[in-house]
Chain A
Amino acid sequence: MSHQVELEERFQARIDAEQKIEPKDWMPDAYRKTLVRQISQHAHSEIVGMLPEGNWITRAPSLRRKVALLAKVQDEAGHGLYLYAAAETLGVSRDELYDELHTGKAKYSSIFNYPTLSWADIGAVGWLVDGAAIMNQVPLCKCSFGPYARAMVRVCKEESFHQRQGFEIMMTLSHGSPAQKQMAQDALNRWWWPSLMMFGPNDDASPHSAQSMKWKIKRYSNDDLRQKFVDVMVEQAEVLELTIPDPDIKWNEERGHYDFGEINWEEFHNIIRGNGPCNKERLAARKDAWDQGLWVREAATAYAAKRKKKAS
């Protein structure tokens, strides 16, 4: 028992000294579990996130936009790969993690349960959703777990590119024809609040946060990150000449931040419970792809085994 305490103390001391924890190092079970949960949830979000945007690849309005969107969605697949690989260093296989996704045991970001209804949604998702992802993920580049931190460095570089691309789509639309501007405003109206929800529950309702902060998996609280996001986005919306759908947004001189309205947490929890507009479709699409791909993966395995046998 005292040995355990000693190990834990040494572990915490390394974290306090900003040393990276590597897969072979000793770590508390709870630290490992928290990381597996968080990294896999993050990986699943990348993969499920391909669906709402993939939805517009065949309808992209110009060849330039089509190529950019395809490349973006492919980046997300790549992010999924890095993250599954990071999770694998903790002793869980990609197949096991998929299984948890498909059975509903593992979660993914709720934002992807909203539909992309117009081309402007591709702009809004890039601008707001990738924007919120960056706010969440930049601090993760300094996460105490080495493989996760390193994966996030690569991911963040691409995310900021996605965000610029999304902003540029919004800019083109909001300065285009009245119908296009309307399309952009409508997309902002639908994606604004869900984007704020991406930072998770308010700090007083986020029970695991303190431990994650102590382990330096998390560096800033949900509310701090959300505030930072609002501050940046209010100014970007002004440049876009679009209106954020929140009448309570107002500069607060005293706080040095923008105040904003109350989030509808009931909607948030409802979607987590599976009742969002697209929960069923998203999960079914992932499951179908996986199930229908089984014979292909089996064939690849069988062929590789035959080759190996021939070679030996």
Chain B
Amino acid sequence: MQEYLLHLADNALILGHRLSEWCGHGPALEIDMAMTNISLDLIGQARNLYAYAAELEGQGKTEDDLAYLRDVNGFRNVLLVEQPNGDFAQTIARSFFYDSYNYFYQKALCESHDKQLAAIAEKSLKEVAYHLRWSSEWAIRLGDGTEESKQKMQAAIDDLWSFRGELLTPAAYEIEAAKAGYGVNPLEIKEEVEKKLQEILLEATLDLPADGWMHSGGKTGRHSEHLGFILAEMQFLQRAYPDSTW
């Protein structure tokens, strides 16, 4: 269960981290604030999950031990969420792929036999519903906006497409989690996720890329080069001043 919880928490933390990089640099104040909101939600979700994972692990561990004192190969997030922000279209494509998956995932997770996990999912679902609405609306706006925005949005969708496969391919700990009744096997939600995706891309007047080769590895700790830099930045103070209270 530990690894499963870390997977969920790491997804939320790393995407939250990426979105927080926009703070102060967004294309408009309102967009800036929306991205910060989503980042705050995601980091909040990560905290709940880390706290739970730390509690299960015992040994007096805290949420910060899990976030700040693991190295790259200890992280279980999907590769999609660690991809750089790129331009705004790339950020939207990344968020939209993640949100359209995460929404149905959290919905299914509300049925978890583990009461605490179900409660965390229920709280997250409300937030994630907003995230999905926000990124879908922007995907549509950019897709069906100007010639330039359409081009950028399509390029971003094409670019990140190969990171989608990992979301819907279960890791061993997800299969186990689903069997034991506390977690979700992403194959269960695959149909809904793909339907949502097609529906939004159609409304955005964007082309659905052909399913080709897909990246994988994040779920089992084999990451892209990006994660190391995210962690170097995020963990700097905890590493430079060990055992301090902040």
Contact string against B for A residues 39-73, beta-carbon threshold 8 Å, 1 for contact and 0 otherwise: 00000000100110010011111111111001101
Which of B28-36, B186-194, B209-217 lies at the interface with chain A? B28-36
B32: chain A residues within 8 A (beta carbon)? 77
Which of A129-137, A221-229, A243-251, A289-297 lies at the interface with chain B? A289-297
B152: chain A residues within 8 A (beta carbon)? 295
Which of B106-114, B124-132, B139-147, B175-183 lies at the interface with chain A? B139-147
Decide: B25 and A299 in contact? CB cutoff 8 A. no
Please provide the chain B residues from 57 to 99 with a CB less than 8 Å away from any CB of chain A in the complex. Answer: 63-64, 67-68, 87-88
Whole-angstrom CA separation of A297 from B142 in the bound complex:
9
Question: Which 5 pairs show the lowest CB-CB distances between chains A and B?
Answer: A293-B27, A299-B145, A299-B149, A54-B24, A61-B237
A148: chain B residues within 8 A (beta carbon)? none
A104 to chain B, nearest CB (A): 19
Q: CB of B37 within 8 A of chain A?
A: yes
In the complex, 24 of the A-B residue pairs with CB atoms within 8 angstroms, ordered by the A residue number, are: A50-B23, A58-B233, A59-B234, A61-B241, A70-B23, A70-B36, A74-B36, A80-B29, A172-B245, A177-B241, A177-B244, A285-B25, A289-B25, A289-B26, A293-B26, A293-B31, A296-B149, A298-B145, A298-B149, A299-B142, A300-B145, A302-B145, A303-B144, A306-B144
Decide: A67 and B148 in contact? CB cutoff 8 A. no
A292: chain B residues within 8 A (beta carbon)? 27, 87-88
A119: chain B residues within 8 A (beta carbon)? 237, 246
Q: CB of B161 within 8 A of chain A?
A: no
Q: Specify the chain A residue showing the minimal Cβ separation from B237.
A: A61
Q: Interface on A for B, CB 8 Å cutoff?
A: 47, 50-51, 54, 57-67, 70-71, 73-74, 77-78, 80-81, 84, 119, 172, 176-177, 179-180, 285, 288-289, 292-300, 302-303, 306
A60: chain B residues within 8 A (beta carbon)? 237
Main secondary structure of the interface of B (DSSP, over half): helix
Q: Specify the chain A residue showing the minimal Cβ separation from B20.
A: A57
* Also in contact, A289 and B244, with CB within 8 A (given A58-B21, A58-B234, A302-B145): no
Q: Interface on B for A, CB 8 Å cutoff?
A: 13, 17, 20-21, 23-33, 36-37, 39-40, 43-44, 46-47, 50, 63-64, 67-68, 87-88, 140-142, 144-146, 148-149, 152, 230, 233-234, 236-238, 241, 244-246
* Also in contact, A300 and B141, with CB within 8 A (given A61-B237, A63-B63, A293-B28): yes
Whole-angstrom CA separation of A47 from B23 in the bound complex:
11
Whole-angstrom CA separation of A292 from B33 in the bound complex:
17
Whole-angstrom CA separation of A104 from B20 in the bound complex:
28
B34 to chain A, nearest CB (A): 10
B234: chain A residues within 8 A (beta carbon)? 58-59
B30 to chain A, nearest CB (A): 8
Decide: A298 and B146 in contact? CB cutoff 8 A. yes
- Pick from A64, A73, A74 the residue with the most CB of B within 10 Å: A74
B87: chain A residues within 8 A (beta carbon)? 292
Decide: A70 and B28 in contact? CB cutoff 8 A. no
Decide: B236 and A71 in contact? CB cutoff 8 A. no
Decide: A296 and B31 in contact? CB cutoff 8 A. yes
A65: chain B residues within 8 A (beta carbon)? 246
B146 touches which of A66, A74, A81, A302 (Cβ 8 Å): A302
Main secondary structure of the interface of A (DSSP, over half): helix
A66: chain B residues within 8 A (beta carbon)? 20, 43
Decide: B29 and A77 in contact? CB cutoff 8 A. yes
Decide: A176 and B233 in contact? CB cutoff 8 A. no
A84: chain B residues within 8 A (beta carbon)? 29
A181 to chain B, nearest CB (A): 11
B238: chain A residues within 8 A (beta carbon)? 61-62
B139 to chain A, nearest CB (A): 11
Decide: A289 and B144 in contact? CB cutoff 8 A. no
Decide: B46 and A58 in contact? CB cutoff 8 A. no
B29: chain A residues within 8 A (beta carbon)? 47, 77, 80-81, 84
B33: chain A residues within 8 A (beta carbon)? 74, 77-78, 81
Decide: B148 and A295 in contact? CB cutoff 8 A. yes
B201 to chain A, nearest CB (A): 15
Q: Specify the chain B residue showing the minimal Cβ separation from A289.
A: B25
Decide: A295 and B37 in contact? CB cutoff 8 A. no
A67 touches which of B44, B50, B144 (Cβ 8 Å): B44
A134 to chain B, nearest CB (A): 22
B156 to chain A, nearest CB (A): 12
